[in-house]
Chains A and B, each alone.
Chain A
Amino acid sequence: MQYLDNYLQFKGGYDYTNVKRNELMKAQGFKEMPFTKTGTTIVGVLFDGGVVMAADTRATAGSTVADKNCEKLHVLAPNIWAAGAGTAADLHHQCAHFNAKLKLQRLNLNRQSRVNEVITKLTSKLFPYRGHIGVALIIGGIDSNGPQLASVSPHGNYVYHPFQSMGSGSLAALGILEAKFQDGLTKQQAIDLAIEAIEAGIFHDMGSGSNVDVVAITKDGAEYKRNIRSYNAKSYQKQIPYDFPINNTPALRKYQFDIIKQELTEVGQEMEIIE
Chain B
Amino acid sequence: MIFNSEISGQYEHTTSPVVTGGSVIALVYNGGVLVGTDTLCSYGSMAAFKNVQKIAQISQNTIYVSSGEFSDFQQVVKELAKIDRSALQYDDGVHPSPKDYGNYLARLSYKKRCKINPLYLQNVIAGFHNNDRYLALVDIYGTYLESKFITTGFASYFCKAIISNYWNENCSLDQAKQVIRECFKVLFCRDCRAHDVIQLAYVDAQGTHIEEPERVETKWDFNGFKQRANEKLHTQ
Residues of chain A having any CB pair with chain B under 8 Å? 46, 115-116, 119-120, 145, 148-150, 158-163, 171-176, 178-179, 181-183, 196, 199-201, 203-204
Asked if residues A175 and B224 are in contact (CB atoms below 8 Å), the reply is no
Closest to B233 in A: A116
Among the listed A116, A119, A149, A171, which residue makes an inter-chain contact with B158, where contact means beta carbons less than 8 Å apart? A171
Q: Which secondary structure characterizes the binding site on chain B? A: helix
Asked if residues B185 and A176 are in contact (CB atoms below 8 Å), the reply is no
| A238, chain B: closest CB distance, angstroms | 33
Q: Contacts of A145 on B, CB cut-off 8 Å?
A: 229, 232-233
Q: Contacts of B158 on A, CB cut-off 8 Å?
A: 171-172, 174-175, 178
Contacts known (A160-B224, A162-B223, A183-B223); A175 close to B159, Cβ less than 8 A: yes
| A253, chain B: closest CB distance, angstroms | 61
Residues of chain B having any CB pair with chain A under 8 Å? 157-162, 164-165, 182-183, 185-186, 189-190, 222-225, 228-230, 232-234
Q: Contacts of A158 on B, CB cut-off 8 Å?
A: 230
Q: Contacts of A179 on B, CB cut-off 8 Å?
A: 162, 182-183, 185-186
Q: Which secondary structure characterizes the binding site on chain A? A: helix
Contacts known (A119-B234, A145-B229, A162-B223); A178 close to B189, Cβ less than 8 A: yes
Query: How many cross-chain pairs have Cβ atoms below 8 Å apart between A and B?
Result: 77
Asked if residues A148 and B229 are in contact (CB atoms below 8 Å), the reply is yes
Among the listed B160, B189, B229, which residue makes an inter-chain contact with A204, where contact means beta carbons less than 8 Å apart? B160
Asked if residues A171 and B157 are in contact (CB atoms below 8 Å), the reply is yes
Closest to B230 in A: A160
Asked if residues B162 and A176 are in contact (CB atoms below 8 Å), the reply is yes
Among the listed A162, A173, A178, A204, which residue makes an inter-chain contact with B164, where contact means beta carbons less than 8 Å apart? A204
A–B complex contacts, Cβ < 8 Å, 8 sampled: A116-B229, A162-B225, A171-B157, A171-B158, A175-B157, A179-B183, A200-B164, A204-B160
Among the listed A162, A196, A204, which residue makes an inter-chain contact with B224, where contact means beta carbons less than 8 Å apart? A162
Asked if residues B165 and A178 are in contact (CB atoms below 8 Å), the reply is no
Among the listed A116, A160, A162, A172, which residue makes an inter-chain contact with B161, where contact means beta carbons less than 8 Å apart? A172
Contacts known (A178-B185, A178-B189); A160 close to B228, Cβ less than 8 A: yes
| B154, chain A: closest CB distance, angstroms | 8
Question: CA of A171 to CA of B224 in the docked complex: distance in angstroms?
Answer: 20
Asked if residues B223 and A178 are in contact (CB atoms below 8 Å), the reply is no
| B194, chain A: closest CB distance, angstroms | 12
| A25, chain B: closest CB distance, angstroms | 32
| A18, chain B: closest CB distance, angstroms | 31
Given contacts A119-B234, A178-B186, A204-B160, 17 further A-B pairs with CB under 8 A are A160-B230, A172-B160, A175-B157, A175-B159, A175-B161, A175-B162, A175-B186, A175-B190, A176-B162, A178-B185, A178-B190, A179-B162, A179-B185, A179-B186, A181-B222, A183-B222, A199-B161
Asked if residues A172 and B165 are in contact (CB atoms below 8 Å), the reply is no
| A205, chain B: closest CB distance, angstroms | 9
Q: Contacts of B157 on A, CB cut-off 8 Å?
A: 171-172, 175
